[in-house]
């Protein structure tokens, strides 16, 4: 189902034009208007989901397989040296458009895109506490 006020619903379903590089019945992939690097594209489902947590498993699997296919194609066409897949969920994680999307970002040696964070040293206690909290078997 589409959301009336969602720009990615409109792009995904062709109501707003986009620089589309791939389309099928479930997804559209189009170029980002503010690319982090040359060829930066966005993979979006045609159906509205706010984020990863709302997406069903079948579409998640299809999205990752499709990302792999397009990343390979883009790498060959653009001659990039590496590739980032980035997927933000929630404002705290940098999500600005609340319709699931996967960033496909070709990377070039020496480009200034830079997806880094400030690594901190985890203590053994912290690692143990988190393992206990998160591991479910």
Binding stretches for Zn ion (CB under 5 A): 3, 6, 8-9, 48, 99
**Residues annotated as part of the active site:** 101
Residues 104 and 67 sit within 8 Å (Cβ to Cβ): yes
Residues 43 and 29 sit within 8 Å (Cβ to Cβ): yes
Q: How far does CA 44 lie from the centroid of its chain?
A: 8
Min CB(54)–ligand 5GP separation in Å = 15
Report the residue number, 21 or 78, with the smaller CB distance to ligand 5GP. Answer: 21
Report the residue number, 75 or 88, with the smaller CB distance to ligand 5GP. Answer: 88
Min CB(135)–ligand 5GP separation in Å = 29
Min CB(63)–ligand 5GP separation in Å = 14
Instruction: Kindly provide the b/e burial profile for residues 72-107, where b requires at least 16 CB atoms within 10 angstroms of the residue's own CB.
Output: eebbeeeebeebeeebbeeeeeebeebbbbbbbbbb
Residues 70 and 43 sit within 8 Å (Cβ to Cβ): yes
- What, of Zn ion, ligand 5GP, none, does residue 85 touch, CB below 5 to 8 Å by kind? none
- What, of Zn ion, ligand 5GP, none, does residue 124 touch, CB below 5 to 8 Å by kind? none
């Amino acid at each position: 189902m589409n959301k009336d006020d969602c720009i990615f619903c409109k792009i995904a379903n062709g109501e707003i034009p986009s620089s589309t590089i791939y389309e099928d019945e479930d997804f559209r992939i189009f170029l980002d208007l503010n690319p982090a690097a040359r060829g930066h594209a966005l993979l979006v489902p045609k159906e509205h989901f706010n984020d990863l947590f709302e997406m069903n498993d079948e579409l998640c699997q299809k999205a990752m397989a499709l990302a792999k296919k397009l990343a390979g194609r883009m790498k060959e066409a653009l001659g990039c040296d590496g590739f980032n897949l980035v997927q933000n969920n929630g404002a705290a994680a940098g999500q600005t458009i609340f319709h699931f999307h996967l960033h496909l970002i070709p990377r070039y040696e020496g480009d200034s895109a830079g997806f880094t964070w400030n690594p901190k040293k985890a203590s053994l206690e912290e690692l143990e506490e988190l393992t206990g909290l998160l591991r479910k078997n």
